[in-house]
Amino acid sequence: MIAKQVSVFLENTSGRLNEVTNILGEAGINISAFSIADTSDFGVLRMIVPDPDKAVTVLKANGFSVQTTPVVLLTTPNQPGSLAKALKILSEEHIFIEYLYAFSMNEDSAVVVIRPSDIERCVGVLNHFFIQPEK
Amino acid sequence: MIWNESIECASREEMRKIQSERLIDTVQRVYQSVPAYRRKMQEAGLVPGDIKSVDDLVKLPFTTKSDLRDNYPFGMFTVPMSEIVRIHASSGTTGKSTVVGYTRKDLRVWAEVVSRTLMMAGVHREDMVQIAYGYGLFTGGLGMHYGCENIGASVIPISGGNTEKQLQLMQDFGTTVLACTPSYSLFLAEEMEASGIKKEDLKLRVGIFGAEPWTENMRREIESKLGIKAIDIYGLSEIIGPGVSCECEFQAGMHVNEDHFIPEIIDPETLKPLPEGAVGELVFTTVTKEGIPLIRYRTRDLTRLNFEKCQCGRTLVRMEKCKGRSDDMLIIRGVNVFPSQIESVLLEMSETAPHYLLIVERENNLDILKVMVEVQEQFFSDEIKMLESLRKKITHKIQSTLGISVEVKLVEPRTIERTAGKAKRVIDNRKI
């Protein structure tokens, strides 16, 4: 399933991440998953939230540079080898991955967030191989 | 030793006579050949005949860097291009260089004034001079070079950078005189320490340092670390380059070669001349230059003049070390940098907003220029590699405009302070 990921530009200064989570907490927005990509000077915070549009609105109102990016959410069994299987398929189909992060939903399943080079093809390929991309 | 005793030790009356004759001639020339000067003088209701002596200098209109920019590149030249044998250029205020041209005679004058300054510094023909100023469009390298050759010293034209080789040649060739920026000399001293070279291993005797402001504390540090006498030299490409003025062995102010460059001190606000000894903006009128004579050129450097005869015997007026600037120009590793140059680069790029902050630091005696640029909504990418390539693009554009390396840092939007009036664009953390 394709989801709207919320990305925030952050300087590498203490307290900035805390500020973002505070703003979202006060707005009653739960963060399902997030990851941070960083360089020595700045970072990009990427999040999956139930209501991305609301998250964007409140963060922008607080002066953050925010963007939404389409990503693929893939549910896999929460067991060894599942991610490898999905990645193998993508690799064989020459779909490049810009970045990826994952979180486990429960004991049975995990969700992988993928930012592929070609999002439509990525979803198509995963559907074709009977792995059901999950919302 | 004094290179040109009859001039350098001339009485005030003799000097004023020389200056007056040359000023009258210069005003005639620029009035005839440069439309920009003619227009300015006409606006002030002046004809060349109104200038009868150096006392009339104050009647003449000022010339500024923006005049040079408006007449870019050669509009202020007084002679046809066929007479110009050399071009130099330095940074302008908004990206365009300030261009100067020299005739054969100008180059001879330049070699003459640099020869005087070398003698002031105690350099003579037996010396081995390592010139670590940049050679090229910058006047530092070539300006020192021809002066050194003129007095018969041996020149090592190594140019700037390449620290390892600098130290190698200093040892192998027995360099006695080092010419570079003061901060680079301290950097060399630290590299010496790191590679186990002692000052006793070198024959260094004198350092001629200029192209950037430095303090008495820095002088003491350089002198003790390198075991040399550190001499301050002053110049700017618009006037001629290095050799406008220089300290003598008594290190009590820089002797101005005032038979070629007449100095004045004005109030930068009212533009009125200030009384002798007052601190104000230094203004020069070149009275022998042929390529691009400048009338009352505002240097923006703040200093004061001392007309007393020096212990060395010279009567040439002395200017103090510059105390600052009356504009926002920064001198970074000897290169002139205007914040407006960076602003124009950012404005040219569609991805950036012209909100920026410059932070200047001195780390290990080298100046570091950091440019903070706000990441705007429209060019924020979710991908690090896009942000990194944006950062590299900005870095590259600024570097090619300024001619020095910079560190660009992307910061969050609206984190750079906005003020209703003049924005604070520069934080200079160097203790100079």
Q: How many domains does chain A have?
A: 2
Residues A112, A85 share a domain: yes
A46 touches chain B (CB under 8 A): yes
Query: Which residues of chain B does A98 touch, with a Cβ-Cβ cutoff of 8 Å?
Result: 383
Rounded Cα distance, B209 and B221, in Å:
13
Asked if A99's CB is within 8 angstroms of B383's CB, the reply is yes
Chain A interface, mutation test: which of B352, B380, B382, B394, most A Cβ atoms within 10 Å?
B382
| ipTM above 0.90 for this complex | no
Residues A77, A60 share a domain: no
Domain endpoint, select from A68, A84, A111: A68
A67 touches chain B (CB under 8 A): yes
pLDDT digits (tens, 9 = 90+) for B36-91: 999 999 999 999 999 999 999 999 999 999 999 899 999 999 999 999 999 999 87
Averaged pLDDT, A59-86: 90
Residues A16, A62 share a domain: yes
Residue A60 maps to a domain? yes
Residues A36, A77 share a domain: no
Residue A133 maps to a domain? no
> Residue B34, class by beta-carbon neighbours within 10 Å (0-12 exposed, 13-18 middle, 19+ buried)?
buried
A40 touches chain B (CB under 8 A): no
| Contacts A–B by Cβ distance under 8 A | 53
Residues A93, A124 share a domain: yes
B375 touches chain A (CB under 8 A): yes
Left, alpha or beta for B307 (phi > 0: left; psi -120 to 50: alpha)? alpha
Residues A76, A62 share a domain: no
Which chain B residue has the Cα nearest residue A41? B409
Could you tell me the pLDDT band of residue B154, with boundaries at 50, 70 and 90? Answer: very high
Q: What is the CATH number of the domain that holds A12?
A: 3.30.2130.10
Nearest to A44 among B382, B411, B414 (CB): B382
Could you tell me the pLDDT band of residue A135, with boundaries at 50, 70 and 90? Answer: very low
Residues A55, A99 share a domain: no
The structural domains of chain B, ordered by start, are: 70-327 (3.40.50.12780), 332-428 (3.30.300.30)
pLDDT beyond 50 at B399: yes
Rounded Cα distance, B335 and B101, in Å:
19
Asked if A41's CB is within 8 angstroms of B383's CB, the reply is no
A103 touches chain B (CB under 8 A): no
The contacts of residue A42 (CB under 8 Å, 6+ apart) are A9, A10, A11, A12, B375, B387, B409, B410, B411
- Could you tell me the residue range of the domain that residue A78 belongs to? 71-128
Residue A104 maps to a domain? yes
Could you tell me the pLDDT band of residue B412, with boundaries at 50, 70 and 90? Answer: confident
Could you tell me the pLDDT band of residue B93, with boundaries at 50, 70 and 90? Answer: low
To the nearest whole angstrom, how far is the Cα of A40 from the nearest Cα of chain B? 10
pLDDT beyond 80 at B152: yes
